[in-house]
Amino acid sequence: MSIVVTGATGHLGRHVVEQLLEKVPADQITAVVRDKDKATDFAARGVKLAVADYNTPETFDGLFTAGDKVLLISGNEFDKGRVGQHTGVLDAAKAAGVALFVYTSAPGSLTAALADDHRGTEQAILESGVPYALLRNGWYNENYTEQLAPVLEYRAVTQAAGEGRIASASRADYAAAAVAVLTGEGHENKTYELSGDIAWGFAEYAAELSRQTGQEIVYNAVPADVYTGILTGAGLPEPFAAILAGVDVSIEKGELAVTTGDLSRLAGRPTTPIAESIKAALKG
């Protein structure tokens, strides 16, 4: 039996593998990567490596064995047909007879286009008959704290979210929930709505940045089409910019402000406040 983590060298995947190493022997962990060179640190610690690519489903053939617990971390290539990518991994897992197929999805409350691929993948999982756990991850603190350079340069937080609020948490928090499901029992055919303990708004976010930096940083709320233009002007492809603007529209509607407590219960601790993630980002 092995715990298999796809996308293991990505932002979330690395947190998952690191936390798994604290709970189970390294030789029980298989890290699925596209480039082994990016996982040499894991291999040096005894983690098994497997090379596979979501865009090449046959690379997953024979990768899983009966009884494995598999974490499918959703792909981030929005233009590559993510449902098809995910289904290729699912088919291989079903053929192998895995014990649990865990998928990082999107909040059930989210109506933005970003959620469409997740809903399609969830449907495929349900129809497959494979024992599953759906981790409907909310927004990450790092979605904002890793993008501080332009905010600090222009001294403004610019979003299209109005006065909407976000119950976000850190990637490490979401990884802790995944590890709890992968190493625990009784999670078969369960859906978890994961979010931070406390919702915050962008005016508060700007105020906290002001407090920690000693600079006056304001929140500049703009319409979704203006925000899309700003993002494309910064070099993002228009379809992706529109997806991000659509998420802001959902934030304004309160769709990412839901606080269920599932995340802190699974992680066994309170979630990371946005102020703590800001502090870590400014230090880094």
Q: Which domains does the chain have, with CATH numbers?
A: 3-138+171-193+259-267 (3.40.50.720)
Query: What is the pTM assigned to this prediction?
Result: 0.96
**Would you state the structure tokens that stand for residue 20, as one six-digit string?**
């798994």
**Would you state the structure tokens that stand for residue 49, as one six-digit string?**
């490596």
What count of other Cβ atoms lies within 10 Å of the Cβ of residue 211? Answer: 12
Half-sphere exposure of 139 (CA within 13 A, CB side): 30
> Residue 80's pLDDT is what?
61
Taken in order 32, 69, 143, 176, is the CA torsion positive or negative? negative
Q: What is the pLDDT along the chain (284 residues), one digit of tens a residue?
A: 799 999 999 999 999 999 999 999 999 999 999 999 999 999 999 999 999 999 999 999 999 999 999 999 998 776 668 899 999 999 999 999 999 999 999 999 999 999 999 999 999 999 999 999 999 999 999 999 999 999 999 999 999 999 999 999 999 999 999 999 999 999 999 999 999 999 999 999 999 999 999 999 999 999 999 999 999 999 999 999 999 999 999 999 999 999 999 999 999 999 999 999 999 999 98
> Would you call 101 exposed, middle or buried from its count of C-beta atoms within 10 A (0-12, 13-18, 19+)?
buried
> Residue 76's pLDDT is what?
79
- Which among 65, 14, 3 has a CA at the least distance from the CA of 40? 14
**Could you tell me how many residues make up the chain?**
284
Helix axes 202-213, 274-283, angle to 10 degrees: 40
Distance CA 189, CA 186 (A): 9
